[in-house]
């Protein structure tokens, strides 16, 4: 496997202050896709993502000018696709803030899903606005953001994009069987396995004009991160004058 160095690929040097602390992310103990932070440690995932971060720190120390800022990113997909684990690892590799979309659901949405009732477009509208504003706020304050958000419909992606021009989506693709298995194995999450079918029914494929990269959600986390970073590098290079 090719290991990419994000700071080099994106053509930028990141200030040390933008490099997210490893401990803060590990303490969050993400459980998406049935993987806890300790599970990732056992599989060596964090050590390989740490290698990417080390490359960022080395480049930041070289004092090059800040160029081609990282575009805002949403890691999207159905329940169980791994949005939190991959999104937080990608944010860490890029040295930007991570936004957990699940944390921004209003209590009534959480209660509805916990009862096994799928959300409607109306239910999601305010939540998507909160996610979009959280991304925009981090872009203004810190110069970058990666969010985990299902973003299943094109109109949902359009709503997020309206608040964040240039928004890039990384779509983690998995099968319905894999989603059901992963959701069933999660502990302490409000989304029941019974809602997996409705997630796939709601999912709409990306249009040609959308900035969406599809990634195999069964790849190791560090490989998914490397693929995403390479895609972001190419998109950043397209805007170099």
Per-residue pLDDT of 73-84, as tens digits, reads: 999 999 999 999
Q: How many other CB atoms sit within 10 Å of the CB of residue 165?
A: 9
Write out the residue range of the structural domain in which residue 54 sits. Answer: 20-238
Asked whether residue 11 is assigned to any structural domain, the reply reads no
Distance (Å, rounded) from C-alpha 130 to C-alpha 149? Answer: 11
Instruction: Specify if 95 maps to a domain.
Output: yes
Q: Is residue 146 part of a domain?
A: yes
Do the domain assignments include residue 118?
yes
- pTM of the predicted structure, to 2 decimals: 0.73
- 108 has pLDDT over 50: yes
The residue ranges of DSSP E strands in 3-78, in sequence order, are 73-76
Residue 8 lies in a domain: no
Calculate the alpha carbon distances from 3 to 69, 87, 157 in Å.
Answer: 21, 18, 30
For the residues 32-54, what does the mean pLDDT come to? 45
Q: Count how many domains the chain has.
A: 1
Residue 193, number of CB atoms within 10 A of its CB: 17
Does residue 185 lie within any of the structural domains?
yes
CATH of the domain at 51: 3.40.50.300
Is residue 6 included in any domain, yes or no? no
- The reply to whether 12 falls in a domain is no
Q: How confident is the model at residue 186 (pLDDT cuts 50, 70, 90)?
A: confident
């Amino acid at each position: 496997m090719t290991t990419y160095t994000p700071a080099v690929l994106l053509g930028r040097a990141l200030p040390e202050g933008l490099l997210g602390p490893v401990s803060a992310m590990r303490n969050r103990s993400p459980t998406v896709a049935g993987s806890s932070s300790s599970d990732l440690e056992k599989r060596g995932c964090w050590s390989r993502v740490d290698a990417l971060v080390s490359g960022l720190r080395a480049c930041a120390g070289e004092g090059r000018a800040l160029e081609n800022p990282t575009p805002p990113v949403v890691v999207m997909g159905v329940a169980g696709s791994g949005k939190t684990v991959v999104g937080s690892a990608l944010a860490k590799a890029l040295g930007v803030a991570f936004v957990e979309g699940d944390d921004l659901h209003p209590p009534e949405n959480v209660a509805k899903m916990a009862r096994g009732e799928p959300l409607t477009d109306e239910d999601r509208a305010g939540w998507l606005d909160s996610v979009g504003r959280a991304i925009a706020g981090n872009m203004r304050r810190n110069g970058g953001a990666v969010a985990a958000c299902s973003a299943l419909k094109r109109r949902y992606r359009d709503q997020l994009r309206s608040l964040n021009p240039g928004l890039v989506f990384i779509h983690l693709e998995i099968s319905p069987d894999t989603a059901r298995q992963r959701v069933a194995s999660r502990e302490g999450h409000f989304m029941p396995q019974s809602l997996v079918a409705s997630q796939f029914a709601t999912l709409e494929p990306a249009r040609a004009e959308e900035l969406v990269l599809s990634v195999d959600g069964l790849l190791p986390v560090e490989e998914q991160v490397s693929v995403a970073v390479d895609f972001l590098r190419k998109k950043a290079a397209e805007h170099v004058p």
